[in-house]
Structure 1
Amino acid sequence: TFVWRKNVERNIDKLKRQLAVLLSQVDDAIAQDNAIKTESIEITPAIICEITSRLKEELSKEAPQAKEAKKALREKKKQIKEIEKKAVSLADYEQKKETLGKRNSFSKTDPDATFMRMKEDAMNNGQTKPGYNLQIGTENQFILNYALFPNPTDTLTYIPFMCSFAARYGHLASTEVADSGYGSEENYRFMEENGIEAYVKYNMFHKEQRMHYAPSPFHQDSFFYNAEQDYYVCPMGQHMERIGTKLDKTANGYQTESVRYRAQNCEGCPLRGSCFKAKGNRVIEVNHRLKEYKRKASERLTSEDGIKHRGRRCIEPEAVFGQMKADYGYKRFRHFGKDKVEMDFAFFAIAFNLKKMCRKLKKAV
């Protein structure tokens, strides 16, 4: 019931090659008369349909009398039928590729669903199932906002999720608390530009807070950096000079910039085996903007307010998810299609908030 991007792209390339061979096997005279040059055209279902129509028209004009000529005509018609058959398959795969969009997979029974690894794995073998990445925003364990995404990772969901929050309430949240799955340069920049007081962890935050944590002296984060002259110093005291920059783009199109630094001479260095194993001199790539964002995030998270917010986060969305799954048995959606699934969860969220409010009012009496 699943469709994978790699299989679709591989089959599209395979069909295009087969169609090119079949078109070249059709009578060269017919192809020449109709100015068909299969080597220079882009093979698409529409183009193939046009070519086969013109070839059929030319073949219908032929009325051979000799036995060999009739046999050749039947062979040409057979080839055209094979071309039409493969053109239909090509159109089907092109449609699947369009349905995939930026995703790597989708389910045939629910094209909006993407195959993801679930936390509940009955077979304990990491199997994938079609699903949606549900994001919720909570306060005092009330569901304030929700959104469904086709990508399994949380990093790319933050900005569209906050935009949906702003569309729902007319403003962005003034204070946000989130785990390390959202700690990317793109997200930190969005928070800073919109004046959001963010307590968002990054991937190494918890490890850095351990009592006996000691970073490796050979990791680039442990190297001394001279900001004025823009160079790093390796464990042996060599200056690592700047040699250029590297630009990358995220799946959302956000451009990141990393600066590359290279050591002057690593040959014969006694620490080379522990420092790095590649050939030549060591080169490191540093994203200064992300590094500064992480420094600011660490200061906020380790402050008095940050410790308080971090303590509350584990009893906010995690508690809500726990109540949804364990207390109310809401472990899977009951409809197909993103629109219906959103409606499904909207009713659940309304009922969840009403029950929570009634319980709080009852305790207050």
Structure 2
Amino acid sequence: MTIIRFDELNRAKAEALIEEIKTSEAAAWAKSLPMDYDQLDLTIAPLEERVAQLDAEVKATKKVSPNPAKQARRKAKSYLHKTEHIRNKRDEYSAAQAVFAGRNSFSKTDHDATFMRVKEDPMMNGQLKPAYNLKIATSRQFVLGYQLFPNPTDTRTLIPFLETLSTRRVLGDYIIADAGYGSESNYRFIADYLPEQTPLIPYGTMLKENSRKWRSDDRKVMNWDYHDKDDYYIDPQGVWFNFQKYVARKDKTGFTRQFHRYLAEAIDENQQPIPAALTKGGRTRYIDVNPEWEFFKAQQRAKLTSKTEGKIYARRKIDVESVFGHLKAYLHFTRFTVRGNIPVKRQMGFMLMAMNLGKVAKRLFALSALNQIKRTKARNLRDFRVLVLF
């Protein structure tokens, strides 16, 4: 981040300035200055005392020209102003890093907003704008719940959003989302904590895996031959990859993935090296396979390619995307008019509530009109019967 880089430059500037003060000032107070970036007040206090001392000397030697005390005071004031500026910048960078809270940017006019790529891009140059990541849960185009997130990544918003929906008991039988939410951590959370719900969430490469280019790519492990009995892979070049060890990796969010590492057989039966088993640098090739991730991928492929659940997933665009289109096209709500997480959340809540009430009103009106038509038809039929009797 830019703030971290600027803070490091500011730290180097502080160390250079203190070293310069110690070199130019031969007095004992200068030699005892601490080289501590986090405690610049201990450097500013002696400088302030030095300036006050020189002020007294200048007043006592007003008629001396040129006045050495004035020259020394000018130099001491320069050191003091530079040190105070560095301290202020340090405090500014420290406060900015506290605002980040796991994000990589924030708006100066709204600290809760994060710079994101939005669809509204008049300049067509991928301009970043301060925004919030809105998540909504719908059923038949009615909004059941919503939540605003400061981070632009959809993958990391699903679990906290599902926790909120589960607490409010508005989760249905199916959890449907697009490929931006397909990750091992999300699949595992639903399987462990929401076993009654069925996820219909494709992963990022699901459509690509069905393409001819993907299936003909020899670099993809899924195109290799796997022998589950002895647990080894054979690549298209005939190189055997045998199981070697378990490998655990932890990402930035603290989620741990478990991998199986397979090492290539680099020597043949005649104790001769196999060139295809080595990298360009001469090291033995290996692959890491995540069985749990492969299990979840296969599970989603089976569900989304079935007729019943495939039709359910196909309604996602009609059910969810229509809500966003309604907000923008009919309510003309394209940006927030308030700042801060709480005011923004309230404004979003009012807009979604108004939209839900509008849909209810339309359905009640349609139901009333239908009942009126039925009553009219019944009355006409009754009058016709009476007319026939007479």
| Aligned CA distance change for structure 1 residues 172 and 279 (closer, same or farther; 3 Å) | farther
1:107-122 equivalent positions in 2, closer than 5 A? 107-122=107-122
Pairwise CA distance, 1:160: 0.8
Q: Residue 386 of structure 2 corresponds to which residue in structure 1?
A: none
| Aligned CA distance change for structure 1 residues 350 and 101 (closer, same or farther; 3 Å) | same
Q: Residue 225 of structure 1 corresponds to which residue in structure 2?
A: 226
Paired amino acid for 2:291: H
How many angstroms apart in 2 are the aligned matches of 1:235 and 1:69? 84
| Aligned CA distance change for structure 1 residues 332 and 20 (closer, same or farther; 3 Å) | same
Pairwise CA distance, 1:51: 2.7
How many angstroms apart in 2 are the aligned matches of 1:116 and 1:255? 27
Q: Which has the larger radius of gyration?
A: 2
Q: Residue 192 of structure 2 corresponds to which residue in structure 1?
A: 193
How many equivalent residue pairs?
Answer: 349
Is 1:17 aligned to 2:12, yes or no?
A: yes
Q: Which moved more, 1:244-253 or 1:192-201?
A: 244-253
> Which of 357, 361, 371 is the matching residue for 1:358?
361
| Aligned CA distance change for structure 1 residues 186 and 332 (closer, same or farther; 3 Å) | same
How many angstroms apart in 2 are the aligned matches of 1:31 and 1:268? 69
Paired amino acid for 2:184: E
Is 1:56 aligned to 2:65, yes or no?
A: no
**RMSD (Å) for aligned C-alpha atoms:** 2.8
Pairwise CA distance, 1:316: 0.9
SS at match of 1:205: coil
Q: Residue 255 of structure 2 corresponds to which residue in structure 1?
A: 254
SS at match of 1:218: coil
Pairwise CA distance, 1:31: 4.9
Contact 1:31 1:37 in 2 (8 A): no
- Which structure has more RCO (C-alpha within 8 Å, separation ≥ 6)? 1
Pairwise CA distance, 1:283: 2.5
How many angstroms apart in 1 are the aligned matches of 2:26 and 2:318? 74
SS at match of 1:152: coil
> Which of 325, 329, 333 is the matching residue for 1:326?
329
How many angstroms apart in 1 are the aligned matches of 2:88 and 2:142? 51
Q: Which moved more, 1:63-72 or 1:256-265?
A: 63-72
Q: Which moved more, 1:93-102 or 1:246-255?
A: 246-255
Structure 1-normalised TM-score? 0.85
**Superimposed CA distance per residue, residues 311-332 of structure 1 (whole angstroms, 9 cap, x where no aligned partner):** 2112111121122222322221
Pairwise CA distance, 1:173: 4.1
How many angstroms apart in 2 are the aligned matches of 1:281 and 1:341? 55
Q: Residue 387 of structure 2 corresponds to which residue in structure 1?
A: none
Paired amino acid for 2:111: P
Paired amino acid for 1:56: E
**Superimposed CA distance per residue, residues 243-288 of structure 1 (whole angstroms, 9 cap, x where no aligned partner):** 444433334321223333232238544x99xxx8775443322221
Is 1:182 aligned to 2:177, yes or no?
A: no
Is 1:237 aligned to 2:229, yes or no?
A: no
| Aligned CA distance change for structure 1 residues 315 and 277 (closer, same or farther; 3 Å) | farther
1:229-308 equivalent positions in 2, closer than 5 A? 229-265=230-266, 267-269=274-276, 280-308=283-311
Q: Residue 373 of structure 2 corresponds to which residue in structure 1?
A: none
SS at match of 2:346: helix
| Aligned CA distance change for structure 1 residues 317 and 211 (closer, same or farther; 3 Å) | farther
Q: Residue 162 of structure 1 corresponds to which residue in structure 2?
A: 162
Over the matched positions of the two proteins, sequence identity in percent amounts to: 32
**Superimposed CA distance per residue, residues 101-127 of structure 1 (whole angstroms, 9 cap, x where no aligned partner):** 211111111111111111121111111
Contact 1:142 1:353 in 2 (8 A): yes
How many angstroms apart in 1 are the aligned matches of 2:173 and 2:345? 26
Pairwise CA distance, 1:140: 0.6
Q: Residue 3 of structure 1 corresponds to which residue in structure 2?
A: none
Q: Residue 378 of structure 2 corresponds to which residue in structure 1?
A: none
Contact 1:260 1:286 in 2 (8 A): yes
How many angstroms apart in 1 are the aligned matches of 2:265 and 2:238? 11
Structure 2-normalised TM-score? 0.80
Pairwise CA distance, 1:239: 1.5
| Aligned CA distance change for structure 1 residues 186 and 71 (closer, same or farther; 3 Å) | same
Unaligned runs of 5+ in 2: 267-272, 371-390
How many angstroms apart in 1 are the aligned matches of 2:183 and 2:151? 16
SS at match of 2:176: strand
Q: Which moved more, 1:68-77 or 1:94-103?
A: 68-77
Q: Which moved more, 1:89-98 or 1:204-213?
A: 204-213
**Superimposed CA distance per residue, residues 285-304 of structure 1 (whole angstroms, 9 cap, x where no aligned partner):** 22211111111121222223
How many angstroms apart in 1 are the aligned matches of 2:176 and 2:229? 34
Unaligned runs of 5+ in 1: 1-5
